[in-house]
Amino acid sequence: MRNILVTGAFGQIGSELIPALQQRYGAEHVIVSDIRMAPLQSRVATERNFEHVDCTQPQQIIDAVRRHDIDTIYHLAALLSAVAEERPHLAWSINMGGLYNVLEAARQCRCRVFFPSSIGAFGPSTPRDHTPQVTIQRPTTMYGVTKASGELLCDYYAARFGLDVRGLRLPGLISYVAPPGGGTTDYAVEIFYQALRYKHYRCFLGPATRLDMMYMPDATRAMIELMEAAGAALKYRNAYNVTAMSISPEDLAAEIRKHIPGFVIDYQVDPVRQSIADSWPRSLDDSAARTDWGFAPRFDLASMTADMLARLGETVTGPEGRRAPA
């Protein structure tokens, strides 16, 4: 192993993937990059390990790869589903153009690539329950179009150029380190902050909207385990279905209420995000990931909720500035 480059590193995933990679491979082997500059008191980025890389600029990627002797790229830079629907042209440029530039840099410099696809790569004509690994993919959002096309491009580079590219179809991710970046499943993070602060949350998805979710420690572990798996065992080079729980806002609220009695959820449905959610699967079949490389999540709804409230309860305060009860 030489060195790892992470693009879009200051987002929701990168903020937890970087420390996990640094712990596993040594901080000196992980290069942090983003179109944003490193925050002044960043815990993970220093002058030596940070590169300003805009993924729509191919030369910036190649320069960073060569300068740091990179052999593995975790390509996280993208616009998420709700933002992509507001800015579809920019989403195509960043999500597709950025992936193409990363795959090209990887082809030229012989790097391995991790690509995060999404449940958004499916659409309304996909079977919504127990969604198979291989099935109809006709997404109706720009985000989904870039993820489904991105999966095809990864397959192409693997077949045509022998590139070692691996991917996951990630569900909505729940985490407490960095805020989510404008996705349809953001409610599942916001609800914890509002429950601790105000014992009240107004949800932008309807109560029974069931979607796949995963706690971030399971997601970062899955990415690293997939990248460490024996290549010969991997049947799919576009992306593997993975999930940990299939939950709705009312399920999550009921679980939070076990810790914060009196927590109230009400609903003001955002038609854009609701229609995106309604076009996505309710639960994925992740048996291919379990069989091919041993994927197994550790957190379910109950253990994720308990851990989120315990972690956030250390920093998030109630309206009067008192430590929130968790």
Active site residues: 143
Order across the sheet with 245-247: list the strands: 172-174, 211-215, 245-247
Order across the sheet with 30-34: list the strands: 50-52, 30-34, 3-7, 70-75, 112-118, 165-170, 240-241
Residue type, 233: A
User: 131 or 199, CB closer to ligand NAD?
Assistant: 131
Would you count residue 103 as binding ligand NAD (CB under 6 A)? no
Beta strands in the chain, from DSSP E residues, in sequence order: 3-7, 30-34, 50-52, 70-75, 112-118, 165-170, 172-174, 200-203, 211-215, 240-241, 245-247, 264-267
Residue nearest to ligand NAD (CB): 11
CB 63 to ligand NAD: min, Å: 14
Would you count residue 34 as binding ligand NAD (CB under 6 A)? yes
The Cα 223–Cα 232 span in angstroms is: 17
**Exposure of 78 in the CB half-sphere (CA atoms within 13 A):** 30
Task: Give the residue, chosen from 65, 77, 106, 113, that forms a contact with ligand NAD under the rule CB under 6 A.
Answer: 77
Site for ligand NAD in 221-240 (CB under 6 A): none
Binding-site string for ligand NAD from residue 38 to residue 57, where x marks contact by CB under 6 A and - marks none: ---------------xxxx-
The Cα 103–Cα 108 span in angstroms is: 9
Site for ligand NAD in 116-155 (CB under 6 A): 116, 118
Task: Give the residue, chosen from 123, 183, 281, 313, that forms a contact with ligand NAD under the rule CB under 6 A.
Answer: 183
Would you count residue 172 as binding ligand NAD (CB under 6 A)? yes
Q: Which residues bind ligand NAD (CB under 6 A)?
A: 7-8, 10-14, 34-36, 53-56, 76-78, 80, 94, 98, 116, 118, 170, 172-173, 180-181, 183, 185
